[in-house]
């Protein structure tokens, strides 16, 4: 779905599908202005240039990319909005996750078994499941050292 609110903030993650492959783009601050970093780490000055880098042709970035999540306002399900955040054994909740952590709670929890939560690692671009209430300290694919 095309992006309707064009006031993007640093930390917002965008997603786009091209030839049945999902790509991500993160809005980052670079030299004092907002830029767009795609999967391979290349940074572009415009959202359309980031889309063109993925598709290999001229691209309307506002139509190609969709907003996935934002560090400042993580997407929440209706159940999460109604219920307080679950505390882990250490007393931390999802709001306490370090912003530098490459793992974020996936806003799409459809099809996830009861008692589990789907997380997404931006470093290796994979998702994984954890028991509800458990906050990852890193991705199981590459543990924190």
Question: pLDDT for 85-106, tens place per residue?
Answer: 443 333 344 444 443 457 778 8
Number of domains making up the chain: 2
Examine residue 139 and state whether it is found in any structural domain, yes or no. no
107, pLDDT greater than 80: no
In this structure, the answer to whether residues 92 and 65 fall within a common structural domain is no
Least confident of 37-41, 85-89, 122-126: 85-89
Is residue 1 in some structural domain?
A: no
Whether residue 24 is found in the same domain as residue 45: yes
Residue 56: Cβ-neighbour burial (10 angstroms; 0-12, 13-18, 19+): exposed
Are residues 119 and 131 in contact, defined by beta-carbon separation less than 8 angstroms?
no
Global pTM?
A: 0.47
Asked whether residue 65 falls in the same domain as residue 104, the answer is no
Return the pLDDT at 96. Answer: 41
Instruction: Tell me the residue range of the domain where 45 lies.
Output: 13-69
Most confident of 37-51, 96-110, 121-135: 37-51
d(CA 143, CA 145): 6
């Amino acid at each position: 779905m095309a992006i309707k609110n064009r006031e993007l903030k640093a930390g917002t993650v965008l997603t786009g599908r091209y030839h049945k492959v999902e790509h991500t783009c993160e809005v980052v601050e670079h030299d004092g202005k907002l830029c767009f970093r795609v999967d391979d780490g290349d940074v572009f000055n415009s959202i359309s240039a980031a889309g063109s880098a993925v598709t290999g042709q001229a691209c309307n970035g506002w139509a190609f990319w969709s907003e996935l999540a934002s560090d400042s306002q993580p997407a929440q399900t209706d159940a999460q909005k109604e219920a307080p955040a679950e505390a882990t054994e250490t007393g931390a909740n999802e709001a306490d996750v370090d912003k530098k952590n490459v793992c974020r709670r996936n806003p799409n929890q459809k099809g996830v078994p009861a008692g589990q939560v789907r997380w997404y690692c931006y470093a290796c671009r994979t998702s994984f499941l954890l028991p509800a209430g458990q906050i990852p300290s890193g991705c199981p694919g590459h543990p924190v050292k």
